[in-house]
Amino acid sequence: MKVKPKVTFGSHRTTIYVSLVFLVLAASLQALVWAYWQNVLEPRLRHEAASQAKVLAHSQEIRLVDAILDTSPQRLQGLHETIDEILLFTDAASKEPLFLGLGLEIDYDVVSAERGSLDLQYGMKHCQDCFLSEVGLYSPISDELIGIARFHVSDRLFRSLSRDVHKTLFIQSRLGTLLLLVVWVIVIFLIRKINSSRRQAEIANQAKSAFLANMSHELRTPLNAIIGFSELMGYDTDLSEKHRENLAIIHRSGAYLLDLINDVLELSKIEAARQTLTETAFDLYEALDKVTEMIRLRAEKKNLVLEFERTNDLPRFVRTDERKLRQILLNLLGNAVKFTQEGGIALRVRSEKDDFDGTADGDTDSGFDALRLYFEVEDSGPGIAAVDRTRIFEAFTQTEGGHLKGEGTGLGLTISRQFARHLGGDIKVGGALGQGAVFEFTLLAKPASASEVTSHRPARRVIGLKPDQSTARRQPIRILVVDDHSENRALLQQLLKRVGFAAKPAENGREALALFKQWQPHLIWMDMRMPVMDGYEATKMIRRAAAKMLVPPPVILALTASAFKEDRDAVIAAGCDDFVRRPFRESEIFNKIEAHLGVDYIYEYDESPSTETTPSGNVSVDGLRSAITLLPHSVIQEFKTAIELSDMDRMAQAVAEIGEVHAALARGLKELVDTFQYDRILSYLDDVENSPVGNPGATQ
Amino acid sequence: MAKSLKNSCRKFVHGLVFLTAFAYAATPSASDDFTERRITAGAKIFRALLAADVDIAHKTDSDGKLMLGLVYIDDTGNAQVAAATLMHRDDPRIREMQIRIQTLPLAECTAEVNGPLAGVFVTQRLNAEQLQILTAFANARHLVVFSPFQGDVERGVQSGIAVEARVRPYLNINALRAARVRLKTFFFKVAKVYEG
């Protein structure tokens, strides 16, 4: 599958935002420069120019005063000449006159002259752009004010100065804007570069996810067929012991391969931070017993002693992720068995209160109380060298012993440590080389009550539907199996038909839609990834078709090989009622059908250890009772008579006859016979005979 | 030989230290220079102001002279500078009237112990209370009061100097009205007017 990069608007948005910021900055810079010029620089320049004009004008005071106070008859002519000379002064730079106009106003109370005779006006009287400077003319002898001279000073200097400063300022501001532009280009370039790298990383991540999803699907699909068919064939009573053993090897190998795939996927989920915590309340004692029982078999094969100790105060019911705890324990104990050649293995479990609110008095009522569970797995194996103690928790890393064994992926301890940390604890390893290894791990759990613990329904084998489990018209329950893999279709069809359902196959979504319209199944097992039309599309189309046809909508159960929760969420979002992860167990299929259609099954026997087990530990009371109901009445009567007469030969004969019909039941009954539990057999047979339903097998 | 060289060096160092100390003591501070300049410039404006007083001819003493009071508080230094500026001129008369300079402490000034005053020149910065006393006296006697110190016109003194590109008279129009001092209209054209 080719991974297409997602076109995100995020990067474009960032570019636009950054560009806007720079645009605002550039506009602000221009506005600031303009405001600075208008409000600060230009007024200051004008003020400076006005001051200059005043100084210039003031410098002419003495000459004018001298001319005015001249008492000779040529005073007026002298005054004219002085003013003419003043108006001749030019600016050295611009070669333009400095003074554009000059007017005199004389105080004739002080100056002895005919009134108005000296009030002269030269040049411009009114000048819009000039600087007007009024200069008081004081007598140098008496310091009296003798008159006022009004100078119109050219603003030429101001204009040229203003133009130069304005040009400099705006060149600098343009440079600032240019610099801003350069920075903007660099920032945009960097953003694009970062976005490109991020997109590459996203593509790589998507490719990885796609690879995992593909691997998950492509590996689980054939594994489903291997495990499923080997399981199904195991029920065939005609198989020879040799074939049964071979089949068991196939089944075990498939299961082992599935474990390896699960390990790799689990690590991928950890690396992608996609692992989820599923906390449930469960019976810790029972969980520990199950684990130790599983390991005990393997230990006994190697003549190893498995010791299990738990402290008296260890709570029986706790709430944590049971699956993860079981996986850690199985991994550590499995490793211990694998590497220990003689001696034994010990599992020790204890608990302590763990007060989250940090109070030292241990008053758990005051805060959220929790338990810290301590597990210790000790073995008498070769031990782990000090240098390996950190390395063993790294992915795909094994000790020298592990390499020599050539088993495992080197992921078990990595996953176990991540799980322990995810559960609020950690794993550490102790011991010494040549003296065995000690793995200790802790995790947090909450106390639970017995009522919270949902009883684990034993995985019993369904062997048929109870009578009157058909539809109103006495038709069998119709189930459509949609899967593009023929072997998977065949497996599921066989399972369903064996029990008594009517099952039809469809190769893809389009075929399923056509069959739905024609056959209207009660339930559809829908593979989600198929060619032509996938399960998502088919589910939607079938839902639409049901509404259009005004028929009850079918229950659609998804079969998904995906290991990721998001994919399962997508399945539900597409309109499926539920899902089962592939490879599935037979019991999961039947349990889901039961949950959604409310059917009742007839079971053969329990596969899990129970409180009421036969001496061999693999047949439960319920299982035996259910299986006996299938026996013909004559067989039950014959078996009863044989037991009542304590006739061993007739009992053996009856068991052999039963074996022809139900091998597993026969094995269970034989164990009871061999251990002389006749009373128990009789009670089962009586129960079946006296039950109101009776034994349906008698009527078949 | 060495001893004489040593003595010479010692004398040179002592001389240098003495000269430095003398030069430092003899140099007036920048602040004193600034005040002196304002007083010198102010004295000329003060003369122009008195010449512009329409009623100045009625403010002479029994000898027909204009008595100008130079007021100080506790330091006569500035008063002497002002007196020198006012007196040492080719023609120290104002409107052809002879002048008499009186350097007076504030209390004596307001008591007019030496006769009626024609105008008062403040030579030392006054505090608010002293200023109030002087203003009340000037208002009662319709006298021109002049202070060369920056900010005094805004504090209520009738006149002072405005130093910008050039030195101009600075008039407090309300203070002049309060003292009922009449100045030539012409004078207002060249003066900076404070109306606060």
The ipTM estimated for the assembled molecules is 0.74
**Mean pLDDT to the nearest integer, A556-573:** 78
CB within 8 Å: A55 and B165? yes
A138 contact B CB<8A = yes
Residue of B nearest to A149 (CA): B190
Q: Which of A596, A644, A626, A600 is nearest to A688 (CA)?
A: A626
Burial class (CB in 10 A: 0-12, 13-18, 19+), A216: buried
CB within 8 Å: A142 and B165? no
Residue of A nearest to B49 (CA): A144
Q: Quick one: which H or E segment has residue B69?
A: strand B66-72
A173 to chain B nearest CA, in Å? 33
**Nearest CB partner across the interface for A136, out of B164, B165, B190:** B190
**The pLDDT of residue B48 is above 80:** yes
Q: How far is CA A676 from the centre of its chain?
A: 58
User: What pLDDT digit, counting tens, does each position of A200-231 carry?
Assistant: 888 887 777 677 766 766 777 778 788 888 87
- Is residue A591 very low, low, confident or very high in pLDDT (cuts 50, 70, 90)? confident
Do A61 and A49 meet the contact criterion of CB atoms below 8 Å apart?
Answer: no
Q: A578-581 and A601-606: which strand pairing?
A: unpaired
Tokens, residue A621: 């009371």
Would you list the DSSP string of A176-213? HHHHHHHHHHHHHHHHHHHHHHHHHHHHHHHHHHHHHH
User: Which pLDDT value is given to residue B155?
Assistant: 94
Residue of A nearest to B99 (CA): A142
Burial class (CB in 10 A: 0-12, 13-18, 19+), A562: buried
Q: A317-320 and A280-283: which strand pairing?
A: antiparallel
> Torsions phi, psi of B30, nearest 5?
-60, -35
Residues of A in contact with B187 (CB under 8 A): 145
Q: Which of A131, A129, A75, A73 is nearest to A102 (CA)?
A: A131
Tokens, residue B65: 């002279």
Tokens, residue A360: 């030292």
Do A107 and B186 meet the contact criterion of CB atoms below 8 Å apart?
Answer: yes
**The pLDDT of residue A550 is above 50:** yes
B87 contact A CB<8A = no
B89 contact A CB<8A = yes
Place of tokens 């058909």: A470
Do A417 and A427 meet the contact criterion of CB atoms below 8 Å apart?
Answer: yes
Place of tokens 């893999």: A485
3-class SS of residue A409 = coil
Angstrom distance (rounded) from CA A63 to CA A89: 14
CB within 8 Å: B47 and A144? yes
Angstrom distance (rounded) from CA A198 to CA A8: 11
What value does the mean pLDDT of chain A take? 80
User: Which pLDDT value is given to residue B150?
Assistant: 93
Angstrom distance (rounded) from CA A584 to CA A561: 9
User: What pLDDT digit, counting tens, does each position of A420-465 carry?
Assistant: 998 989 999 988 888 889 999 999 999 888 777 765 555 567 878 8
Residue of B nearest to A108 (CA): B186
Tokens, residue A142: 């008496």
B156 to chain A nearest CA, in Å? 24
Q: Which of A287-291, A584-588, A661-665, B63-67 has the lowest mean pLDDT?
A: A661-665
CB within 8 Å: A145 and B166? no
- Is residue B55 very low, low, confident or very high in pLDDT (cuts 50, 70, 90)? very high
Substitution target in B68, B121, B167, B190 with the highest count of A β-carbons within 10 Å is B190
Q: Is the dihedral of CA B4, B7, B13, B16 positive or negative?
A: negative
Q: Which of A302-311, A503-512, A638-647 has the lowest mean pLDDT?
A: A638-647
Do A322 and A282 meet the contact criterion of CB atoms below 8 Å apart?
Answer: yes
Residues of A in contact with B119 (CB under 8 A): none
Alpha helix positions (H), A550-662: 565-573, 586-597, 621-628, 633-644, 648-661
CB within 8 Å: B44 and A143? yes
Do A167 and A174 meet the contact criterion of CB atoms below 8 Å apart?
Answer: no
User: Which pLDDT value is given to residue A566?
Assistant: 67
Torsion over CA of A379, A380, A384 and A386, rounded to 10 degrees?
Answer: 100
pTM flag (> 0.80): no
Angstrom distance (rounded) from CA A30 to CA A32: 5
Q: Is the dihedral of CA B158, B163, B165, B166 positive or negative?
A: positive
Angstrom distance (rounded) from CA A700 to CA A633: 10
Q: Which of A161, A158, A52 is nearest to B164 (CA)?
A: A52
Do A627 and A589 meet the contact criterion of CB atoms below 8 Å apart?
Answer: no
Residues of A in contact with B94 (CB under 8 A): 142, 144
Burial class (CB in 10 A: 0-12, 13-18, 19+), B195: exposed
Q: A305-310 and A344-355: which strand pairing?
A: parallel
> Torsions phi, psi of A667, nearest 5?
-65, -40
B174 to chain A nearest CA, in Å? 22
- Is residue A607 very low, low, confident or very high in pLDDT (cuts 50, 70, 90)? very low
Residues of A in contact with B165 (CB under 8 A): 51-52, 54-55, 58
Q: Give percent of chain A above pLDDT 70.
A: 82
> Torsions phi, psi of A16, nearest 5?
-65, -45
Do B170 and B160 meet the contact criterion of CB atoms below 8 Å apart?
Answer: yes
**Mean pLDDT to the nearest integer, B175-180:** 95
CB within 8 Å: A55 and B166? yes
Q: Which of A615, A613, A631 is nearest to A623 (CA)?
A: A613
Sheet strands (E) in A276-364:
280-283, 305-310, 317-320, 344-355
How many H helices and E strands in chain A? 22, 18
User: Which pLDDT value is given to residue A605?
Assistant: 55
CB within 8 Å: A145 and B90? no
Percentages of chain A per state (helix, strand, coil), in multiples of 5: 55, 15, 30
Place of tokens 């056959």: A519
User: Higher-confidence residue: A493 or A467?
Assistant: A493
Q: Give percent of chain A above pLDDT 90.
A: 22
B90 contact A CB<8A = yes
- b (16+ CB within 10 A) / e for B59-86: bbbeeeebbbbbbbeeebebbbbbbebb
User: What pLDDT digit, counting tens, does each position of A113-171 carry?
Assistant: 888 899 999 988 888 888 999 999 999 888 899 999 999 998 887 888 888 889 999 89
> Torsions phi, psi of A358, nearest 5?
80, 5
Cβ neighbours, 10 Å, residue A10: 10
- Is residue B123 very low, low, confident or very high in pLDDT (cuts 50, 70, 90)? very high
**Mean pLDDT to the nearest integer, B35-53:** 93
Q: Which of A48-57, A275-284, A364-373, A408-417 has the lowest mean pLDDT?
A: A364-373
User: Higher-confidence residue: A207 or A405?
Assistant: A207
CB within 8 Å: A144 and B168? no
**The pLDDT of residue A357 is above 50:** no
User: Which pLDDT value is given to residue A209?
Assistant: 67
Angstrom distance (rounded) from CA A275 to CA A292: 26
3-class SS of residue A527 = strand
Tokens, residue A98: 């400095």
User: What pLDDT digit, counting tens, does each position of A178-205 carry?
Assistant: 999 999 999 999 988 988 898 888 888 7
User: Higher-confidence residue: A678 or A85?
Assistant: A85
User: Higher-confidence residue: A415 or A333?
Assistant: A333
Q: Is the dihedral of CA A686, A688, A693, A699 positive or negative?
A: negative
**The pLDDT of residue B2 is above 60:** no
Whole-number Cα distances in Å, A613 to A462, A618, A636, A685: 18, 6, 21, 17
**Mean pLDDT to the nearest integer, A321-327:** 87
A179 to chain B nearest CA, in Å? 41
CB within 8 Å: B187 and A145? yes
Which residues have C-beta within 8 Å of that of residue A158, sequence separation ≥ 6? A45, A46, A49, A131
Give the CA count within 13 Å in the CB-facing half-sphere of A292: 19
Place of tokens 């040179």: B12
Terminal alpha carbon distance of chain A: 52
A143 contact B CB<8A = yes
**The pLDDT of residue B25 is above 50:** no
A83 to chain B nearest CA, in Å? 20
A55 contact B CB<8A = yes
How many CB pairs below 8 Å do chains A and B form together?
A: 58
